[in-house]
Amino acid sequence: MIGLIMFLITLMLLMIGFPVAFTFAGVAVIFGVLSQGVDLFAFMPYRIMNVMQNTILMAVPLFIFMGIVLQKTKLAEQLLEAMGGLFGNVRGGLAVSTILVGSLLAASTGVVGASVVAMGVISLPVMLKHHYKKNLASGVICATGTLGQIIPPSIVLIILADVLGVPVGDLFKGAVMPSLILVGSYILYVLIIAQFDKQATPAFKGKNHDLKTHTQYLLVAKAILPPLSLIIAVLGSIFSGIATPTESASIGAVGSLVLATLYKRLNWAMLRESSIETIKITSMVFAILIGATAFSMVFTYNGGDTLVETFIMQLPAKEMSFILLSMLIILILGFFIDFVEISLIIVPIFYPIAQSLGIDMAWFAILIAMNLQTSFLTPPFGFSLFYLKGVAPKSIQTMDIYKGVMPFIAIQIMVLMSLILFPTWYGFSDF
């Protein structure tokens, strides 16, 4: 029962607000010394060395750098301006534009906080000005901002690939169809609301709405082609086998600097600021990873994984019971703790059980990524909710944001259930 006690104490400390990396490491040291003695930690240098020598994880700082540089190029502003003119005559068009722009930002930056803040600063005031309902406008921005969790290239997918021992390229390929289904479901929901509640999504007419159609298309092409070219270069190099994920991440980092040059945003101050932010975020991720490694080692040595596996194996219909139970646990934990902690602590516990049941690891990883995306929206601690509240006008109350995200949480859960029940539709093997 030591493993269970460790987990509960860790969860309690995280909810109180203790730093994640130090919580994992501190709980591991205390319980490790009390249960196994100091000699247990003689293995830690080797585990830390394995983390630092992992070539898959080298892609993390490169993709973070790419996202931060693109965030500073004012990419979202140009995309929204162009899309707003193109969809100006469609009821709900501005919300649709926000979803499409957010999808491109997710694929090119992959930074949830940056996407939500950018869309909140640029798109939310415009939607409110044109009398969109507060909850719908808030929900669209929060939900769209979290797409960076599932749309490749995604930091979550890289971490899950390392934890579950799946090639990153396979996860990127496997995430494409669920991502498209999710984006399409968001757009369909907005269009349905626009038909049944005409006050919720009035037609938008931006400053480009009087331009001729071909001029609108030209503006959209000029705004979309540069980031789209970068996405194709990054993902295309992986899917075609030309480059490894780490090499493609370097392509993305260099490509982001090229785009910054094209947008006339590249300067030493921006480059220095982007580099410092990249170091901060990367340091945080790797500190959590090392703390989680210590926690996982002590948890395993005290039989915590055996306890979980024994419980799972006693359930009827083992495979489906395991999938549903693991998804429910991840969903509930997502209300309280971050995706990094779940990926590095909870997923390694489930990994050997999934492996023993013969479950397709790529499919399991995509299920987890989709589930972790939901954790960004779920009250009370969904990070997207905090990001938007931080930049939203005073007229937007916290309850408006909570109400707005509820339909999108339901959409995400429905897509997740379809992925569980019909994996072959998404190109995965059926268990």
Q: Note down pLDDT in tens along the chain; length 431 residues.
A: 777 788 788 878 877 767 777 888 888 888 888 887 888 788 788 878 877 777 777 887 888 888 788 778 777 667 776 766 666 567 777 888 888 888 887 777 666 666 777 777 777 887 887 788 888 889 998 898 888 888 888 888 888 998 898 988 899 899 999 999 999 999 999 989 888 877 777 765 555 444 456 666 777 777 778 887 888 888 888 888 888 878 888 888 898 899 889 888 889 998 999 899 888 878 877 887 788 788 878 877 777 767 766 776 676 667 888 899 889 888 887 776 667 778 877 888 888 888 888 889 999 999 999 988 887 787 766 777 877 887 787 888 888 888 889 999 999 999 999 999 998 888 887 65
Together in a domain, 293 and 310: no
Regarding whether 291 and 216 lie in a shared domain, the answer is no
Identify whether residues 344 and 199 lie together within a single domain.
yes
Give the integer Cα–Cα distance in Å for 229 and 251: 12
Euclidean distance between CA atoms 148 and 155, whole angstroms: 8
Are residues 251 and 291 located together in one domain of the fold? no
Domain assignment present for residue 431? The answer is no
Radius of gyration of the chain (CA): 22
343 falls within a domain: yes
Inside any domain, residue 281: no
Q: Which residues contact 296 (CB under 8 A, 6 or more apart)?
A: 344, 345, 348
If asked whether residues 313 and 297 sit together in one domain, one would say: no
Q: Are residues 134 and 103 in the same domain?
A: yes
Q: Phi/psi zone of residue 244: left (φ > 0), alpha (ψ -120 to 50 degrees), beta?
A: beta
Whether residue 280 lies inside any domain: the answer is no
Do 292 and 375 belong together in one domain?
A: no
Nearest to 298 by CA among 25, 12, 9: 25
Residue 349 lies in a domain: yes
In this structure, are 312 and 420 located in the same domain? Answer: yes
294 lies in the same domain as 228: no
The tokens 């104490």 sit on which residue?
9
pTM, two decimal places: 0.78
Residues present in the chain in total: 431
Query: For residue 5, what are the domain limits?
Result: 1-53+287-301
| Angle at the Cα of 176 from the Cα atoms of 251 and 105, rounded to 5 degrees | 55
Q: Report the phi/psi class of residue 429: left, alpha or beta, with left for phi > 0 and alpha for psi in -120 to 50.
A: beta
Phi/psi at 203 (nearest 5 deg)? -65, 145
Find, among 114, 253, 64, 244, the residue nearest to 172 by Cα.
244
Report how far residue 331's alpha carbon sits from residue 327's, in angstroms, rounded to the nearest whole number.
6
The reply to whether 26 and 73 lie within a common domain is no
Cβ-in-10-Å burial (0-12, 13-18, 19+) of 45 comes to: exposed
| Pair (199, 243) in one structural domain | yes
Q: Are 150 and 376 in contact (CB under 8 A)?
A: no
Number of folded domains that form the chain: 2
Q: In this structure, are 41 and 161 located in the same domain?
A: no
Residue 321, domain member (yes or no): yes
Domain membership flag for residue 282: no
